Amino acid sequence: MSTGKEAVLNGEAVLGIELGSTRIKAVLVDGTNQPIASGSYDWENQLENGIWTYALDEVWKGLQGSYAALKEDVKQKYGVTLNRLGALGISAMMHGYLVFDKDGNQLVPFRTWRNTITGEAAQELTELFQFNIPQRWSIAHLYQAILNQEAHVPEIAFMTTLAGYIHWQLTGEKAIGVGEASGMFPIDSVTGQFDAKMLAQFQERIAPKGYPWKVQEILPKVLSAGESAGVLTEAGAKLLDPSGELAAGVSLCPPEGDAGTGMTATNSVRPRTGNVSAGTSVFAMIVLEHALKKVHPELDMVTTPDGSPVAMVHCNNCTSDLNAWVGLFKEFAESFGMNVDMNQLFGTLYNKALEGDADCGGLLAYNYFSGEHITGFEEGRPLFVRTPDAKFNLANFMRVHLFTALGALKTGLDILFREEGVEADEVLGHGGLFKTKGVGQRIMAAAMDVPVTVMETAGEGGAWGIALLASYMKHKSEGESLGDYLSAHVFAGEKGETLKPGEADVKGFDAFLARYTEGLAIEHAAVAHLR
């Protein structure tokens, strides 16, 4: 306890706050980068006039709530009041659209990453730039508003993300981390800034509209990990801690998105490393050694917090259908009067999958609760299908549902690894799929054909990741890279278990994927005819 208490009393504790889609979490770390206190606030997005949004009043209520819970945790653990910090960092869901006029007034409700209302804009910009622009990105939202001739567009003076907005209010600085910036507009990996050629192309495209602004003027300043992005003002300190006990003047690191903090929290920022998050949705991020040869709509191009290029495969569906089937087995057991422990049930069924045939015995399933852009679906229908001669048993049934949870991801990764020739030495896994030891990890290794490591700290999450970025800014040695800092001061001696892909599992997943790809017509028919 002494290390945590001393860090608080000496004003050396570092705070990271991340605004996730359902929870705002604050994590305080000591000089060894270990969490010493935390606080959280639950919240939900709202669907208003067809737009998924969060009200900015709720943003501040949530930030203040999570910080107050953190202060209370410090008080309970150490008997002292948190009133000084060593460094601070803000993170939030990437992408989206927040725009303000010259007086700082919000022009339209926050449009989150969840909205899929920018298809026309994303397609046009992808063709213009010859660079994949996902619908989630800020520039796609801006261009769609232009195409829609929305009245607010001429009034725009500043466009940012949620993390960038909060940072601006806390510091007065319109700045953003390069990883977060890469979800706003394409980044030139050589300069670490917004791509100048593409900025010019965009400006030329919208010039006939005669807007009083240029796109480069309304975007935030791009900073890299390790740089100071401003200090907490008196007004900013009051916004975070209305009690007035928090002192101003602490330095903030560049605000980052949840992808960047996930890379940091899994020590996946060097070329040839990567991380995969597998839960309700699934995404994999691989840090590249060089640019890709061509544009792929299945792959998002972003960066690490220190500007290295990253290819991202993002899929909407992962474990929801798998969890639904486990729930059915729970209901079956309870019908016989059994008291079911869910952890034991998941563990038993997951391990049963390891007894199945390598290719799932000819079974086929689709886990599409919603659409899946990688395979070309705007809607989804969960499906299980088999031929009369398929090997239908419990082991194969569980195995096919684990495989299909990664089917769309595998489709995107095959483009990355096999078409583009990208190589990864190791991938760090985190999320609910990896909770049952060794099972999800083995299936993921088979899908990726890359060793997969799960660390004990994998559950600490993005709030810890942004705290690490703030700590790096404060404590780094001259010339020390982010990767070197994390390896030396955060993950040195960190216990992790690595599983290499098994040859039979890899061949089995490839055979399953061929069946999965061929059977997509079945899923299309289900979407068309099952209402």
What average pLDDT does range 291-305 have in this prediction?
92
Rounded-to-integer distance, Cα 478 and Cα 442, Å: 40
Answer yes or no: is 362 within a domain: yes
The pLDDT score that the predictor gives to residue 256 is: 97
Answer yes or no: is 84 within a domain: no
Phi, psi torsion values for 279, nearest 5 degrees: -150, -125
Using CA atoms, how far residue 438 sits from 174, 312, 429, 444, 476, in Å, is 44, 24, 11, 10, 35
Q: How confident is the model at residue 37 (pLDDT cuts 50, 70, 90)?
A: very high
What average pLDDT does range 264-293 have in this prediction?
91
- Please state whether beta strands 383-385 and 309-315 pair in parallel, antiparallel, or not at all (unpaired): unpaired
Percent of the chain with pLDDT over 90: 84
Rounded-to-integer distance, Cα 322 and Cα 343, Å: 14
Answer yes or no: is 361 within a domain: yes
Answer yes or no: is 524 within a domain: yes
The pLDDT score that the predictor gives to residue 2 is: 54
* Among the listed residues 470, 295, 256, 266, the one whose alpha carbon sits nearest the alpha carbon of residue 286: 266
| Least confident residue range of 43-57, 94-108, 504-518 | 43-57
Predicted confidence (pLDDT) per residue in 156-165, tens digit: 999 999 999 9
The pLDDT score that the predictor gives to residue 484 is: 96
Rounded-to-integer distance, Cα 386 and Cα 357, Å: 14
The pLDDT score that the predictor gives to residue 365 is: 98
The pLDDT score that the predictor gives to residue 500 is: 96
The residue written with tokens 């992408």 in the block is 95
What average pLDDT does range 329-339 have in this prediction?
96
Using CA atoms, how far residue 163 sits from 177, 180, 238, 260, 303, in Å, is 9, 8, 18, 12, 16
How does the average pLDDT of the chain come out, rounded?
94
Residue 459 scores a pLDDT above 60: no
Neighbours of 21 (CB within 10 A): 16
Q: The whole model's pTM is what?
A: 0.89
The pLDDT score that the predictor gives to residue 432 is: 82
- The number of folded domains in the chain is 1
Answer yes or no: is 328 within a domain: yes
Q: How confident is the model at residue 458 (pLDDT cuts 50, 70, 90)?
A: low
The pLDDT score that the predictor gives to residue 1 is: 47
Q: Which domain holds residue 509?
A: 320-404+504-529
Answer yes or no: is 450 within a domain: no
What average pLDDT does range 360-368 have in this prediction?
97
Predicted confidence (pLDDT) per residue in 415-445, tens digit: 999 999 999 998 999 888 888 999 999 999 9
Residue 451 scores a pLDDT above 70: yes
The pLDDT score that the predictor gives to residue 185 is: 98
Percent of the chain with pLDDT over 70: 99
The pLDDT score that the predictor gives to residue 457 is: 63
Predicted confidence (pLDDT) per residue in 399-411, tens digit: 999 999 999 999 9
Predicted confidence (pLDDT) per residue in 253-274, tens digit: 999 998 899 899 989 999 999 9
Rounded-to-integer distance, Cα 507 and Cα 403, Å: 13
Q: How confident is the model at residue 460 (pLDDT cuts 50, 70, 90)?
A: low
Answer yes or no: is 525 within a domain: yes
Rounded-to-integer distance, Cα 161 and Cα 152, Å: 17
Q: In 3-state terms, what secondary structure has residue 16?
A: strand
* 104-108, 278-282, 492-496, range with greatest mean pLDDT: 104-108
Answer yes or no: is 212 within a domain: no
The pLDDT score that the predictor gives to residue 203 is: 98
Q: How confident is the model at residue 3 (pLDDT cuts 50, 70, 90)?
A: confident
Q: How confident is the model at residue 148 (pLDDT cuts 50, 70, 90)?
A: very high
